[in-house]
Structure 1
Amino acid sequence: MGVLGWIVLGLIAGAIAKAIMPGKDPGGIIITMLIGIVGAIIGGFVGKALFGTDISTFFSLSTWLLAILGSLILLGIYRLVTGRRAHA
């Protein structure tokens, strides 16, 4: 899967992660989309390293699950970091 495929996958995974983890994001929709893209890439590479899954196919269920999981984790970390900074 090329760079454009990862971007599209990340945008969709970020939107799904936002729907799963509702609430106000400190950065808005642009930051949420970027978190989705980065989370999808991180989730894909971590999944490949840990489980040996093939992340090169766009329509694979494991690729989507890893991308969404990576986006959820990164979104949660982002909210923790920016939430603490806003209250400090």
Structure 2
Amino acid sequence: MGLVLFLIIGALAGWLAGKIMKGSGFGVLGNIVVGVIGSVLGGLLFSLLGLSSSGLIGSLVTAVVGAVLLLFIVNKLKS
């Protein structure tokens, strides 16, 4: 059940990050990839800043922050 929840959070985080940064999502698989990578990046960023999150909402916030950061970096590298 943990893997399914992780993928759902990843998909939701990727979709939200797509809405925040680009104005649209990336499809289901794209949202999952962006969200999962974003959750790892967000967790790393939060630990470097000394922040922690817990629970479902905390995981979603961490993943969205990481996914937005990921999309920001990708957009800067493409420019």
TM (norm. structure 1) is: 0.64
Cα deviation, residue 4, structure 1: 2.8
CA shift, 1:3, in A, is 3.0
Higher fraction of helix: 2
SS of the residue corresponding to residue 17 of structure 1 reads helix
Taking only the aligned residue pairs, the percentage that are identical comes to: 24
Correspondence 1:15-34 to 2 at 5 A:
15-23=15-23, 28-29=26-27, 30-34=29-33
| Post-superposition offset of 1:51 | 2.7
CA positional deviation for 1:52: 4.8
Pairing partner for 1:64 from 46, 60, 65: 60
- In the alignment, the residues of structure 1 paired with residue 59 and residue 35 of structure 2 have an alpha-carbon distance, to the nearest angstrom, of 13
TM-superposed deviation, 1:34: 1.0
Distance in 1, matches of 2:66 and 2:14, equals 9
Report the CA distance between 1:35 and its aligned residue: 1.4
1:47/1:77 CA distance change after superposition, 3 Å: same
**Runs of 4+ with deviation above 4 angstroms:** none
Change (3 A) 1:43 1:31: same
Range moving further from structure 2, 29-38 or 5-14: 29-38
Closer/same/farther in 2, CA of residues 44 and 2 from structure 1, 3 Å limit:
farther
Could you tell me which runs of 5 or more consecutive residues in structure 2 were left unpaired when the two chains were aligned. Answer: none
Q: Which residue is 2:72 aligned to?
A: 76
Does residue 41 of the first structure (1) align with residue 37 of the second (2)? no
The structure with more radius of gyration: 1
